[in-house]
């Protein structure tokens, strides 16, 4: 509801999903992809990032990173 009603995503826009490894984050990421957005997901541990990357074909996120690291997510 928040993504669609408040965010009003449009095709081609970028959506950043924090806590993307959680159930809600995964659903938000999938919905954003359905709306035609480029999706960048973050998680709070390297293990969660690894889990996201392992299911990335299913969730189809464009980029994934650990938001607790000081380094930027890279080429996103």
Domain presence at residue 76: no
Domain presence at residue 8: yes
39 neighbors 15 (Cβ within 8 angstroms):
yes
% helix, strand, coil for the chain, step of 5: 40, 20, 40
Range of the domain at 38: 2-66
Is the pLDDT at 67 greater than 70? The verdict is yes
**Is the whole-model pTM more than 0.85?**
no
Buried/exposed code over 5-16 (b: 16+ C-beta within 10 A; e: otherwise): eebebeeeeebb
**Number of structural domains the chain divides into:** 1
Domain presence at residue 71: no
Is the pLDDT at 76 greater than 60? The verdict is no
Tens digits of residue pLDDT in 22-48: 999 999 999 999 999 999 999 999 999
Q: Which residue has the higher pLDDT, 53 or 6?
A: 6
Domain presence at residue 75: no
Domain presence at residue 17: yes
We report the CATH number of the domain holding residue 6 as 3.40.50.720
Q: Which two structure tokens, joined as six digits, stand for 10?
A: 């449009």
| Confidence category of residue 53, pLDDT binned at 50, 70, 90 | confident
49 neighbors 66 (Cβ within 8 angstroms):
yes
């Amino acid at each position: 509801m928040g993504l669609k009603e408040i965010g009003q995503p449009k095709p081609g826009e970028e959506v950043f999903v924090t806590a993307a490894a959680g159930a809600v984050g995964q659903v938000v990421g999938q919905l954003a992809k359905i709306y035609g957005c480029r999706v960048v997901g973050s998680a709070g541990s390297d293990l969660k990032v690894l889990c996201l990357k392992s299911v990335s074909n299913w969730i189809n996120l464009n980029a994934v990173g650990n938001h607790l690291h000081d380094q930027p997510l890279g080429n996103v």
